[in-house]
Amino acid sequence: MASTHTKIGDFTFDNCLMNAAGVYCMTREELAEVDASAAGSFVTKTGTLTKRAGNPEPRYADTTLGSINSMGLPNLGYQYYLDYVIELQNQPNSKNHFLSLVGMSPEETHTILKAVQASDYHGLVELNLSCPNVPGKPQIAYDFETTEAILTEVFTYYTKPFGVKLPPYFDIVHFDQAAAVFNKFPLTFVNCINSIGNGLVIDDETVVIKPKNGFGGIGGDYVKPTALANVHAFYQRLNPSIQIIGTGGVKTGRDAFEHILCGASMVQLGTILHQEGPAVFERITNELKAIMDEKGYKNIEDFRGKLQYMN
């Protein structure tokens, strides 16, 4: 049968499917469940310098075609997640993991990353440049100057494998400009996409989440074409040494197949993991392997990035 084995930088994974940051990754218990599932890895909830309660509830809603959330970055503080991934990396046969991080200011981001640099952790870090839900804090990666300034500073002291979580871009010029910034740095990966920020879902006459008068990040079916476009746009533009993690709208093996076809080396599940729980990894892995078997693909490198265009 086909293998969904993959690599990000020097790290190998038995399966290219894993959770998306924010879903099923708040506590050690949730992370342990994902780790014990068919997922190839996990990423932690984005950890900040100090723990945060997040926005008032209800702050997540399933919708007909996906989800809307305005969690507001609730998390247990970066140290909690750093301790856990270090604990796991010291266990025999541990999977490789991703530690998601961001500060509430560039200064806090550097404080956190300097602590991770000084720690025993030698796994992957994902800097979240795209949280849409903290009132008064814009999505960092929509500001190319600030993004470049942060990454310039980071790479003066940070030497471990490092990637960034990006918001969706919607304009070809923005793909060009964003890729030009990221190509200046020795990034291991970029992850496309975070939720589409600040959508609005209405039930009868009322919003479905409380924070920000109902505005929140959109995930699920709505976002798949945007996610695929971002994965492929960056696949076309980034230095080949920068790999792509594809996130957005994956709920079947076919969706994962399409992300890989667009260039993704790893594929993350958000909304569907929230709906189905960690058993979803086995279902979607089996669906993806069945498609690969039918097409005669032995591993994901046989078709990764090989999206066909019309003449």
Catalytic residues: 131
Are 121 and 89 in contact by the 8 Å Cβ rule? The answer is yes
Among 46, 230, 243, 271, binds ligand ERO (CB under 6 A): 46
Among 131, 201, 238, 264, binds ligand ERO (CB under 6 A): 131
Are 24 and 273 in contact by the 8 Å Cβ rule? The answer is yes
Q: Check binding of 199 to ligand ERO (CB under 6 A).
A: no
Stretch that binds ligand ERO, among 123-131, 146-154, 245-253, 286-294 (CB under 6 A): 123-131
Are 287 and 253 in contact by the 8 Å Cβ rule? The answer is yes
What helix, strand, coil percent values describe the chain, rounded to 5?
A: 40, 20, 40
Among 195, 247, 265, 285, binds ligand ERO (CB under 6 A): 195
Closest CA to 139 of 82, 196, 204, 219: 196
Nearer to ligand ERO among residue 193 and residue 300 (C-beta) = 193
CB of 69 to ligand ERO, least distance (A): 5
For the chain, how long is the longest CA-to-CA vector? 54
Nearer to ligand ERO among residue 2 and residue 207 (C-beta) = 207
Closest CA to 260 of 241, 285, 232, 239: 232
Q: Check binding of 191 to ligand ERO (CB under 6 A).
A: no
Among 19, 63, 109, 194, binds ligand ERO (CB under 6 A): 194
DSSP 45: P
Are 234 and 190 in contact by the 8 Å Cβ rule? The answer is yes
Q: Check binding of 63 to ligand ERO (CB under 6 A).
A: no
CB of 178 to ligand ERO, least distance (A): 17
Residues in contact with ligand ERO by the rule CB under 6 A: 22, 46, 69-73, 128, 130-133, 194-195, 217
